[in-house]
Amino acid sequence: MDVVRLDRVGKTYAGAEVSLRGTKLEWKGPALWARNAVRGLRLTSVNVPPVRALHDVSFALAPGEIFGLVGPNGSGKTTLIKLIAGLIRPTTGSGMVAGVPLTHPAAIRRSVSYVSTTGWMGLEWPLTAEENVRFFAALCGMDGALAGARAAEALRAVGLWEDRDKYPSQLSNGMRQRVILARALLFHTPLVLLDEPTVGLDPANARAVIDLIRGPLRERGQTIVLSDHQSAEIERVADRIAVLRAGELARLGTPGALRAELADVMVIEAHTEEMDPPRAPAPAVVLATEYVDRPGALGLRAWRVHTWKSPDALQQVLDWLTQPTGRVVRLAEHAPSLRDVLTLPPEVIAARRAGAAASALAGSAPPEGAAVEGAAVEEAAS
């Protein structure tokens, strides 16, 4: 039987009146009083329209499966995890979690472990790491002896046994995060939900958390849903990956299957120094481009260009990028990673494929231009 089954689930957060107090810092004293008098309630409240956080999401998870959720900020990952955890109810659609319908969230909560490494699941500062884990076990009704044994097991699993007597103030951010994760290991529930378990961890600790998920959690046969911004980490651990975009399930498949969607695409990376971006439209072989301006005296710009696989794509991109002034200081070509699968909008590929097919019929070149051409992306994304 499926551990999770969602059928056309949607979630719309109701609109709200949100206080603006504290945000209009420039209004003080008599000026604020006068403005209040003039505007009445409108100064301190504003109407927030309803937000459609999830739309028409359907999938099923088999027992023991590790399911990764990726998508940009605000795409609905946390909402989906909370919905499966029984913390919020869907607005539309139906589904079952651990044999319980979504309409009975309280019963669902008994079958899941939920960990959010961001937000409100904080630690008690007067308690040590071990006491925090045991306290959480007690809160959830676990008896003392079992709690002691499970807390020790969990702290060993997250590599914190040596540090168990430290207080949260004496632990690094990564260690505190692992204490929170240890709480999720206390219960051998059928389903474990981890919202961004590796966010903010250095590569070694992120790897340790992923190994923990792949190892002990999987061996127990628990079904795991985890979200992450970092596709590289999800790729290492997930059996299947769902890509959310603006609340919709844009893609779903094994990492291999998702990568295979881009089998005829390649990625060209180029760095330029003191060189203007090209004015000419991108050659037809180019699907999408993005660049990041790196701070520094040399005016370094890092390009990432997606092209159709073709023997002369590299040369065409080089010719296109090269301008009379400045230099191209690096040029490399590689196969798309999962990150490319996630960042390249499926519409771009579909549209280009359709365009290429149509123009092949008409005997001409595919259409010019690229959907995300010239988009300056965040430095952090590189």
Ligand X SMILES: Nc1ncnc2c1ncn2[C@@H]1O[C@H](COP(=O)(O)OP(=O)(O)OP(=O)(O)O)[C@@H](O)[C@H]1O
Identify the residue among 68, 71, 197, 278 touching ligand X (CB under 6 A). Answer: 71
Binding of ligand X by 75 (CB under 6 A): yes
Q: Is the Cβ of residue 13 or residue 167 nearer to ligand X in the bound state?
A: 13
Torsion sign over Cα 278, 360, 348, 380: negative
Binding of Mg ion by 117 (CB under 5 A): no
Q: Is the Cβ of residue 71 or residue 283 nearer to Mg ion in the bound state?
A: 71
Q: How many CB atoms neighbour CB 106 within 10 A?
A: 8
Pattern 209-248, ligand X, x by CB under 6 A: ----------------------------------------
Burial of 261 (0-12, 13-18, 19+ CB in 10 A): middle
Q: Which does 71 bind (CB under 5 to 8 A by kind): Mg ion, ligand X, none?
A: ligand X
Give whole-number Cα distances, 41 to 32, 46, 49, in Å.
13, 9, 18
Show the beta-strand stretches assigned E in the chain. 4-13, 16-19, 45-48, 51-61, 66-70, 92-97, 100-101, 112-116, 191-195, 223-227, 240-245, 248-253, 265-273, 286-293, 300-308, 327-334, 375-376
Binding of Mg ion by 78 (CB under 5 A): yes
Q: Point out which span in 56-64, 70-78, 179-187, 321-329 binds Mg ion (CB under 5 A).
A: 70-78
Identify the residue among 6, 57, 70, 78 touching ligand X (CB under 6 A). Answer: 78
Identify the residue among 3, 4, 53, 234 touching ligand X (CB under 6 A). Answer: 53
Q: Point out which span in 76-84, 186-194, 203-211, 235-243 binds Mg ion (CB under 5 A).
A: 76-84
- At a CB cut-off of 8 Å and minimum separation 6, what does 367 contact? 284, 352, 355, 359
Q: Is the Cβ of residue 220 or residue 240 nearer to ligand X in the bound state?
A: 240
Query: How far is the C-alpha of 39 from the C-alpha of 14, rounded, in Å?
Result: 25
Q: Which does 86 bind (CB under 5 to 8 A by kind): Mg ion, ligand X, none?
A: none
Contact residues for Mg ion (CB under 5 A)? 77-78
Contact residues for ligand X (CB under 6 A)? 13, 51, 53, 71, 73-79
